[in-house]
Each structure stands twice: as structure tokens, then as C-alpha cells.
């Protein structure tokens, strides 16, 4: 380790800069929460008031009673959880296959999958929309879930991780007569848990925040996901700022809570991606 005398002036300057960016990062959230508890009279007060004088829950109550925000909330939970579960499951299976199986053209097939990471979602949007409309899956849960299950990045991530599992473990099990399924459940799954945790969080975040897909697929109000419902709210009720802020809190807060509990895996996962990228 290098240790050097650091001047107090430098320490103050560095931490000062970090605190400035901290404020820039956090203030929009503080402002959002604060505004969401304001009554109609308090929004347009200038200079801005950081803490509402008469905090009220009415914006949240209205959101669920008048705007029926319960439905998009449940839709989002259902779609995100299903997408994440299925995506992590098949990515782990495929990752195991590409890491440990022996067959012809394995690496070629894998490169093929890797190539799809580079394809922007907008290019597949129109054909998939047509396919879903042909299958009568527009405005259905399957229409929202199916296209997002196969995730090339997740397969890549799991393959890289499972490659680190020692071959000896697998060979020993094979000598005892174990087949691939048994090895997967008894050896791979327990060892691959940290990587699965990372892609679980990434996939859930991506699904929860997904906007363009549901905007196209879920045109019926009963099928809106939270981001779509909030975007409509943002467009319609321009005079009711406090309710918009409450809507934003409903979308943002659950994910921040999930993140704060799982940030270790998040940061590990991103770091791992950067190393392999």
C-alpha cells in the first residue's frame, strides 16, 4: 500500500467535490418525496419550501382511488417477477451448457448469442409487435413477459461464472453415475448463487423500468405497467404536480429499497461485467 501525507486542504477539497455530486444525485429524490406530500396550495409557493407545512397523504390516496394505480402496480410486480424468474432460470441452464458441455460448434453457437447483445431493441420491436398481434398476445401478460425472457447478456454472464467451477467436481460426479440434470441441481446451482443473485437484480431492475415495450404492447388501461401509467399521468394532469410526484415515488421507491438491500451484488455484478467486457 502507498501511504503518503495528505494535506488537510486537499481532503476538504476532495470531499467537498464528492458532497456536491452527492447533493446533485440526491436532491431530485428529496424534492420528489417532499412535493408528493404537499397540498394543492403549497405547490406553487416561491421560494420553494423543502418541508411541507401541512403534509398530506391525499395525493397517494387519490392516486389509488381515482387513478386506479393499484392495477398497474400489480401488473408491474407480476410481469417483473415472472420475467426475472424465467429469465434467470433459462440463462443459468444455458450458461451451464455453454460452460461445461462438449459438443460440436459450441463456441460458434455461443458467439451467435453474443452477437445479439449488440442488436438494439428498436430493430426487433416492429416484427415482434406484429408476431404478438398475430398470436393475439397484445395486451396480455404473456405478451409483456415472453419477448424479455431470453437475455443474451444473462447467458453470457452465467457462462463466464460457471466456467470457474472446477471440472474435477463434475467429473467425479459423472464417475459416480450422475447425469447432467443431477449435476446442475446439486453442484452448479449451489455454486452459481452469487452470479444468479446479480443477474436476478439486473433483470428485475430492467423489467421494472422497461418502458418502450409495454408502451407498445399494453395499450389497454387495464394492462398498463407502472411506467406507462406514470407517463400518462405526466401527460394528462399537468396542473396536479403533487399527484405526479406521488406517482413517481410509487415507481421509484420499491426499486431503491430493493437496491439498498442488494447493492453488494449490484456493484459486484457491474464490476464483473466491466472486467469481462
The residues in 136-175 that bind other proteins, with binding defined as CB under 8 A, are 146-147, 149-150, 152, 155, 174
17 is an interface residue for other proteins by CB under 8 A: yes
DSSP string covering 176-232: TT--HHHHIIIIIHHHTHHHHHHHHHHHHHHHHH--HHHHHH--SGGG--HHHHHHH
CA distance 94 to 180: 12
CA distance 23 to 20: 5
Count CB-CB contacts under 10 A for residue 257: 10
- Per CB under 8 A, contacts with other proteins among 50-89 are none
Q: Applying CB under 8 A, which of residues 41, 177, 181, 190 lies at the interface with other proteins? A: 181
Q: How many residues bind other proteins (CB under 8 A)?
A: 98
Q: Applying CB under 8 A, which of residues 142, 185, 211, 261 lies at the interface with other proteins? A: 211
Question: For the stretch 8-25, what's the b/e string if a residue is b when 16 or more beta carbons lie within 10 angstroms of its beta carbon?
Answer: eeeeeeeeeeeeeeeeee
180 is an interface residue for other proteins by CB under 8 A: yes
Instruction: Give the residue with the Cβ less far from other proteins, 60 or 96.
Output: 96
Name the segment binding other proteins (CB under 8 A); options: 55-63, 65-73, 177-185, 191-199.
177-185
CA distance 32 to 149: 33
187 is an interface residue for other proteins by CB under 8 A: no
Name the segment binding other proteins (CB under 8 A); options: 59-67, 77-85, 190-198, 260-268.
260-268
Inter-residue contact 192 to 161 (CB < 8 Å): yes
196 is an interface residue for other proteins by CB under 8 A: no
In the complex, the smallest distance separating the C-beta of residue 274 from other proteins, rounded to whole angstroms, is 4
Instruction: Give the residue with the Cβ less far from other proteins, 26 or 61.
Output: 26
Q: Applying CB under 8 A, which of residues 69, 97, 156, 224 lies at the interface with other proteins? A: 97
DSSP conformational letter for 118: G
Amino acid at each position: 500500500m502507498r501511504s503518503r501525507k495528505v494535506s488537510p486542504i486537499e481532503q476538504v477539497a476532495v470531499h467537498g467535490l464528492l458532497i456536491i455530486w452527492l447533493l446533485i444525485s440526491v436532491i431530485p429524490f428529496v424534492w420528489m418525496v417532499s412535493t408528493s406530500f404537499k397540498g394543492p396550495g403549497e405547490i406553487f409557493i416561491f421560494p420553494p419550501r423543502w418541508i411541507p407545512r401541512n403534509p398530506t397523504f391525499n395525493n397517494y390516496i387519490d392516486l389509488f382511488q381515482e387513478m386506479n394505480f393499484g392495477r398497474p402496480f400489480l401488473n408491474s410486480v407480476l410481469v417483473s417477477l415472472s420475467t426475472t424468474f424465467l429469465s434467470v432460470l433459462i440463462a443459468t441452464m444455458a450458461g451451464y451448457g455453454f460452460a461445461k458441455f462438449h459438443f460440436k460448434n459450441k463456441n460458434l453457437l455461443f458467439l451467435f448469442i453474443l452477437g445479439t447483445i449488440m442488436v438494439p431493441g428498436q430493430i426487433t420491436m416492429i416484427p415482434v409487435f406484429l408476431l404478438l398481434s398475430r398470436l393475439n398476445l397484445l395486451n396480455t401478460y404473456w405478451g409483456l413477459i415472453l419477448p424479455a425472457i431470453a437475455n443474451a447478456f444473462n447467458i453470457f454472464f452465467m457462462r463466464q461464472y460457471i466456467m470457474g467451477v472446477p471440472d474435477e467436481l463434475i467429473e467425479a460426479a459423472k464417475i459416480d453415475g450422475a447425469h447432467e440434470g443431477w449435476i446442475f441441481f446439486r453442484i452448479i446451482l449451489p455454486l452459481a448463487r452469487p452470479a444468479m443473485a446479480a443477474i436476478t437484480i439486473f433483470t428485475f431492475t430492467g423489467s421494472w423500468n422497461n418502458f418502450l415495450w409495454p408502451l407498445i404492447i399494453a395499450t389497454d388501461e387495464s394492462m398498463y405497467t407502472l411506467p406507462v401509467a406514470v407517463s400518462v399521468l405526466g401527460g394528462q394532469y399537468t396542473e396536479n404536480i403533487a399527484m405526479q410526484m406521488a406517482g413517481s415515488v410509487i415507481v421509484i421507491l420499491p426499486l431503491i429499497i430493493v437496491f439498498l438491500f442488494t447493492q453488494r451484488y449490484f456493484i459486484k455484478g457491474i464490476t464483473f461485467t466491466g472486467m469481462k467486457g
